[in-house]
Amino acid sequence: MVTQRGRRDEASSPGRPPRRSRRQDTPDADNAPTAEIPAVPADGNGRAGDAPEAVRAKSIPEAAVARLAVYLRVLSGMSEQGATTVSSEELSQAAGVNSAKLRKDLSYLGSYGTRGVGYEVSVLVSQIERILGLTRQHKVAVVGIGNLGHALANYGGFPGRGFPVEALFDLDADLIGVPVGGLPVSHMDDIPRVCAERGISIGVIATPPTAAQSVCDRLVAGGVQCILNFAPVVLQVPAHIEVRKVDLAVELQILSFHVARRADDAAGNQGNSGLPGTVRPSDNGKGGRNGSGPDGGREMVVRG
């Protein structure tokens, strides 16, 4: 929202030329501020609202938040391989964004690097983890122990990144009480009680669409604050609940669009190859024709 400040009417100032209006840039995804991101104070005891990290988090655009998570994954891998410093060019290439966008993203953290040296990997990891609220664990519940639910429950990468799976739920009587990934499956009717008792903050819905809303209501009743929804349905939730929707069919359809567009471009280039003076944009991996976003990074990347 743009706030318009009051100004004197031009007619009330005779003899003065009218002021030229300033052009207002249209806000985009990289300029729109997010809601406050959870941030933990350095001492772990003070109010989060007083911490510098919390203040900075309020001003970070949502598109930049998504990229920070990618940087964290890349940096963690570099740290495991023994890297102590990284240049913006190295990190931007590994993360799939251009170096200017990366430097702007990292400036939200108050981190600008050192000329000729770059960024300290361990410092960046710590700063990003604090901004993303990863200085404490977020307990996860998975609802719907079908093929996807089994895979999520057995995935060993969640606990190491601060997201231990602490509860599993399903309706199938043959699954109730059976351990999956070391956890016994509970009945869906027990979602509110179990989530409240175990302090679950993130719920993952991997059920058929017909059951998703009912499951969502139970998770909210159990105190869950965030929901990751794999069911192809729009959930109705209170305003304070954050929902992220993952629709693999939509992602594949978007990729299909890019494949079809490349095929059309290739056919057009072949048709114009013999015409003098005809130049068509090439798919050289540097522009928008390879599925890249406006920042030079890919808009759509499907990762395992």
Binding residues: 144-149
Q: What is the CA radius of gyration of the chain?
A: 24
Contact 127, 109 (CB under 8 A): yes
Q: Which amino acid makes up residue 266?
A: A
Helix (H, G, I), strand (E, B) or coil at 67: helix
Q: Which of 17, 10, 49, 28 minimizes the C-alpha distance to 295?
A: 28
Known binding residues for NAD(+) are 144-149
Task: Output the DSSP codes for 28-47.
Answer: -TTTSBPSPPP---TTSSS-
| Tokens encoding 253 | 């359809």
Residue with tokens 């993203």: 105
Q: Which amino acid makes up residue 161?
A: R
Other residues' Cβ atoms within 10 Å of the Cβ of residue 26: 6
Alpha helices (H) along the chain: 52-58, 62-80, 88-95, 99-107, 121-131, 147-154, 157-160, 191-198, 209-221, 248-272
